[in-house]
Chain A
């Protein structure tokens, strides 16, 4: 692999790893706070899936990047070096908000992993093979809850609609690409992520409408910047917690 394409691939893999870690972090905050016991377990399960995926991706990035380990990416970088999608770092809010975030993210991530199954990069296609099964469940889980809350009671409908509306402005950023992605696309290593938005929009719209909810205004202004490390204010607090122990006791093995 050429120098250039190697560093492009690292950026892409770290982006995907960051998505998983930060969303997994958010979902893990639900532990012992779930709306009932079975759902508490389900959310921990999903959080574990994402954290597991982050570890696979970070390990691969480290392998490409001179032998760094998975924990380097989680514990030794600064806020602006994280390139997770903005959506992943949004606060949990109520259960409706979390379900909306899960719907938006999992539909995106499922499609991405599905495309990565055909990647010419064997590590990435191997990762996708496992991840796609987990994500299929996440999509089902998020869709089912969107339907239940949207078409449940008046209150749940209102809350679910609120989640769908509030988070909309962060969804375009899921599809952000870098100039450096182009050579990866050309080499058949990754799909053209930006081109996946149309399909995503259709799928999300279908669930939202079946849930008797209203689709947000697709032309409304949306925030971007995550792939360049420009975040919402949430990131600093996430990183503070995530890295608290390792920063307080530097250079230790845990």
Chain B
């Protein structure tokens, strides 16, 4: 018992000194579990997030935009891959992670349970959703678990391209015809609040925050990150000429931040509980694709085994 307490003290001291925890280091079981939950949720979000954007690849209105969108989604798949690898360093397999996603034991970001209804949504997702993700991920570059922090560094480099392409897409719409601008505004109206919800509940209601902050799994609180995102996004919306759908949004000189209106937490909780427009669709799609392709994975394994045997006999 004393031994464990000593190990925990050393572990915390290491974190306090700002050193990374590496896969072979001792760590409290709860640290490991919390990290697996957080990293896998992040990985699943990258993967499920491919669906709403994938919805528009074949309908992209120019070849340049099509190529950009496809490359962007491919990046997200790559992020999923890095993050699954980071998870695997904590002793959990890809199959198990996938299984947790399919059974609902693991979650993904609720933002992807909203439908992409127009081409402008490709812009709004890049600008707002990737934009919100960046704010969160930049702070995670200094997270305490080494493999996770390093994955974040790689991911952040690509995320800024994601946000830029989304913003640039919206800029074209906003400088285009009245119909194009209306399409952009409609996307803004639908994606703004869900993007703010991406940062999670208010600090006072956040179940995991205190311990995670102490372990430096989280570096800044939900509310701090949300405020950061809003503060940097308002001017960008003004430049586009789009209206942020929040009548209470205004600059507070005293705080040095924007004040903003009440987030609809009932909607937030409802979507988390599975009652969003696309929850079933997204998960069913992932399960269906996984099951339909069992035969491909089996074939690849069978072939690899056969050939391992063949080369064995060659050696013998």
Contact = CB atoms under 8 A, between A and B. Distances in A.
A252 B117 CA distance: 19
B47 A156 contact: no
Given A54-B63, A254-B65, A153 B58 contact: no
Interface string B155-186: 00000000000000100110111011000000
Contacts, number: 133
B296 interface: yes
Interface string A26-47: 0011011111111111001101
Contacts of A196: none
Contact of A95 (B57, B59, B71, B293): B293
Nearest to A151: B303
Interface string B48-64: 00110010011111111
Interface stretch (A69-77, A128-136, A173-181, A186-194): A69-77
Interface string A123-157: 00000000000000000000000011101110110
A95 B65 CA distance: 27
Given A37-B47, A252-B180, A152 B298 contact: yes
Interface in B238-254: none
B179 A51 contact: no
Given A44-B73, A152-B303, A58 B289 contact: no
B61 A75 contact: yes
A242 B80 contact: no
A246 interface: yes
Contact of A156 (B58, B65, B299): B299
- Dominant secondary structure of chain A at its interface with chain B: helix
B13 interface: no
Contact of B61 (A21, A155, A246): A246
Contacts of B285: 32
Contacts of B62: 71, 75, 246, 254
Interface of B: 47, 50-51, 54, 57-67, 70-71, 73-74, 77-78, 80-81, 84, 119, 169, 172-173, 175-177, 179-180, 285, 289, 292-293, 295-300, 302-303, 306
Given A152-B303, A254-B65, A36 B176 contact: no
B74 A41 contact: yes
A70 B172 CA distance: 18
Contacts of A149: 296, 299, 303
B74 A95 contact: no
B299 A155 contact: yes
19 contacts: A25-B58, A28-B58, A28-B66, A35-B296, A40-B50, A40-B77, A41-B74, A51-B63, A51-B66, A54-B63, A149-B296, A152-B298, A156-B296, A156-B299, A249-B61, A252-B180, A253-B172, A254-B169, A254-B176
B63 A244 contact: no
Interface residues of A, number: 49
Contact of A38 (B81, B292, B303): B81
A70 B77 contact: no
Contacts of B57: 28-29, 31
A153 B63 contact: no
Given A34-B293, A148-B300, A153-B299, 10 more contacts: A25-B58, A31-B74, A41-B78, A48-B71, A51-B70, A71-B62, A148-B299, A241-B59, A252-B180, A254-B173
Nearest to B60: A245
B51 A153 contact: no
A102 to B, nearest CB: 14
Contacts of B51: 32
A242 B59 contact: yes
A45 B303 CA distance: 24
Contact of B67 (A55, A245, A246): A55
A210 to B, nearest CB: 12
Given A37-B47, A44-B74, A156-B296, A242 B81 contact: no
A52 interface: yes
Nearest to A21: B63
A159 interface: yes
